[in-house]
Chains A and B, each alone.
Chain A
Amino acid sequence: AQKVTQAQTEISVVEKEDVTLDCVYETRDTTYYLFWYKQPPSGELVFLIRRNSFDEQNEISGRYSWNFQKSTSSFNFTITASQVVDSAVYFCALSGANSGYALNFGKGTSLLVTP
């Protein structure tokens, strides 16, 4: 069985603060994929990143960075110098090579960035 836990339901920060969104996963698959999606207030789901289970390199894209640690089954997402436009619900998701290609989503973390 696969499970994604996003323990933080809501986070509120002031603009320019750094914020980390936590994601912990469970899977029996040896090959799996981890994802982050963003859902802004407009409602669409926007792909941010995909990582393979055999690639633990951290990734940075502008103000966004991701920390993948297999030892702790975590795939955390950090936004540096947050901006109001970062306000959204962020979903972590997991798919496994032996579990089909559908994504199992966490419950999401609602991030509010205030000026």
Chain B
Amino acid sequence: DAGVIQSPRHEVTEMGQEVTLRCKPISGHDYLFWYRQTMMRGLELLIYFNNNVPIDDSGMPEDRFSAKMPNASFSTLKIQPSEPRDSAVYFCASSLGLGGTGGPRGANVLTFGAGSRLTVL
């Protein structure tokens, strides 16, 4: 089990450029989450999917942000155009829905990827 895989690990771009972050969840997990971490705001939920369908995108900052999950093994978070205030670490996480145990791969336990550190100049 390779865990949740995110790419790129680091991205430096200039204001106005398009940024695409990618995530491969753990096989068999039916929930996928995108979080953003900044010093000022901590860990914020941006959007989450259940069975590839977006369930709650109320945390997406504005129309410049979009997320897709075309299949169970891949999701993208896109920022277009990027701005300096988008600089943050973006985490992808996946989990099973409720019904299992509470162990490390148990239901509702989010397993996080290593994060993508985005710097917008």
Q: Which residues of A contact B (CB under 8 A)?
A: 33, 35, 37, 43-45, 47, 49-52, 91, 95, 97, 100-108
Least Cβ–Cβ distance between A101 and chain B, in angstroms: 5
A-B contact pairs, 26 of them (CB 8 A): A35-B109, A43-B89, A43-B115, A43-B117, A44-B115, A45-B93, A47-B109, A49-B102, A50-B102, A50-B108, A50-B109, A51-B102, A91-B43, A95-B108, A97-B98, A100-B56, A101-B50, A101-B97, A101-B98, A101-B108, A102-B45, A102-B48, A103-B33, A106-B42, A107-B42, A108-B42
Cβ-based interface call for B104 (8 A): yes
CB 8 Å contact bits of B79-121 with A (1 = contact, 0 = none): 0000000000101010101100010101011111011010000
Least Cβ–Cβ distance between A104 and chain B, in angstroms: 7
Cα-based distance from A95 to B93 in the complex (angstroms): 14
Chain A residue contacts of B117, Cβ below 8 A = 43
Chain B residue contacts of A43, Cβ below 8 A = 89, 114-115, 117
The residue in chain A whose Cβ has the minimal distance to the Cβ of B97 is A101
Contact B43 A105 (CB under 8 A): yes
Contact A103 B114 (CB under 8 A): no
Chain B, interface SS category: strand
Given A43-B114, A102-B45, 19 further pairs, Cβ under 8 A: A43-B115, A44-B112, A44-B114, A45-B91, A47-B104, A47-B109, A47-B111, A50-B108, A50-B109, A91-B43, A97-B98, A102-B33, A103-B45, A103-B110, A105-B42, A105-B43, A106-B42, A108-B42, A108-B43
A100/B55 contact (C-beta < 8 A), A43-B89, A51-B102 known? yes
Least Cβ–Cβ distance between B47 and chain A, in angstroms: 9
Chain A residue contacts of B109, Cβ below 8 A = 35, 47, 50
Complex partner residue of A47 from B31, B48, B56, B110, CB under 8 angstroms: B110
Least Cβ–Cβ distance between B68 and chain A, in angstroms: 18
Cα-based distance from A108 to B35 in the complex (angstroms): 15
